[in-house]
Amino acid sequence: EVQPFLTSLLDGYNLCLMAYGQTGSGKTYSMLGSDLEELSMNRQSPDQPESDFTLPDHASHGLVPRAVNEVFRLIKERGKDSQLSANIAVMEIYNNEIYDLLQYGSPKCHLASGEEDPTPTLTRYPVHNMEDVMRHICQGLRRRAEVSTLVHDHSSRSHLIVTLSLVTMSPQHTAPAPTVNSPLRYSTRSDSPSG
């Protein structure tokens, strides 16, 4: 269902994939898949690099890994002349504060109102394939704030926002000069105060 929109992403349009629902309703499962949901719950060392990360079988992938895989397939299909690069940012909104989940200690980010980039201090990493993206998402998930509820032992009680930005370089410039920045955002939101 999402595939036709992904081509528009490469043409410079923004795209947002969002899951909304009560705690325990399956937002993370639908967006990431069963195996990645389990990986994200392993919180024994949230700041340990994901160097040994292996992506589970394609059959258990959720919407986000499938969409990201398609984005990188489309980039490859366009060839080297397309001059596209990609980067990822992972943040959460918890108690009305924005936290950078790709930075050690998950520091607060400050909004810059009126700027083209409202979160200039947010950490962004270059990514080259689905495995890179999912490695960073998993690391971010392990750093999320968590509170146990009546429904779910590992409720995040926060809003997770993952942004995959595609930057197109202008072919007439010899130095990198970004001309199009198209974010693909994945977001989960729980709307159940009682849990």
| pTM of the predicted protein model | 0.76
133 pLDDT band (50/70/90 cuts)? very high
Which structure tokens are listed for 83? Answer: 């001059």
More confident of the two residues 117 and 195 = 117
Q: Name 191's Cβ contacts closer than 8 Å, sequence gap at least 6.
A: 20, 21, 22
In this prediction, residue 179 carries a pLDDT of: 47
In this prediction, residue 60 carries a pLDDT of: 72
Q: Which residues pair with 163 in a beta bridge?
A: 89, 185
- Residue 96, SS3 per DSSP: coil
Q: Name 160's Cβ contacts closer than 8 Å, sequence gap at least 6.
A: 90, 91, 92, 101, 140, 141, 144, 186, 187, 188
Q: Name 21's Cβ contacts closer than 8 Å, sequence gap at least 6.
A: 27, 189, 190, 191
pLDDT tens for each residue of 19-75: 888 877 888 888 888 766 565 555 545 555 555 555 555 657 888 999 999 999 999
Q: Quickly tell me which residue has 């990188």 as its tokens.
A: 72
Q: Is the dihedral of CA 21, 14, 31, 141 positive or negative?
A: negative
Q: Which residues pair with 166 in a beta bridge?
A: 86, 182
In this prediction, residue 4 carries a pLDDT of: 84
The backbone torsions φ and ψ at residue 62, rounded to the nearest 5 degrees and listed phi first, read: -90, -170
> Which DSSP symbol is given to 60?
G
pLDDT tens for each residue of 140-177: 888 877 655 554 455 556 788 899 998 887 665 555 54
Question: Given a cut of 60, is residue 96 above it in pLDDT?
Answer: yes
Q: Are 62 and 31 in contact (CB under 8 A)?
A: yes
In this prediction, residue 147 carries a pLDDT of: 56
The backbone torsions φ and ψ at residue 34, rounded to the nearest 5 degrees and listed phi first, read: -65, -45
Q: Where are the alpha helices (DSSP H) in 14-129?
A: 27-32, 34-41, 63-78
Q: Which amino acid is at 77?
A: E
pLDDT tens for each residue of 113-128: 766 777 778 899 999 9
184 pLDDT band (50/70/90 cuts)? low
Spatial separation of the C-alpha atoms in residues 123 and 113, rounded to whole Å = 18
Range with lowest mean pLDDT among 64-68, 104-108, 124-128, 178-182: 178-182
In this prediction, residue 61 carries a pLDDT of: 80
Spatial separation of the C-alpha atoms in residues 159 and 188, rounded to whole Å = 6
Question: Given a cut of 50, is residue 105 above it in pLDDT?
Answer: yes
Spatial separation of the C-alpha atoms in residues 84 and 66, rounded to whole Å = 19
In this prediction, residue 192 carries a pLDDT of: 46
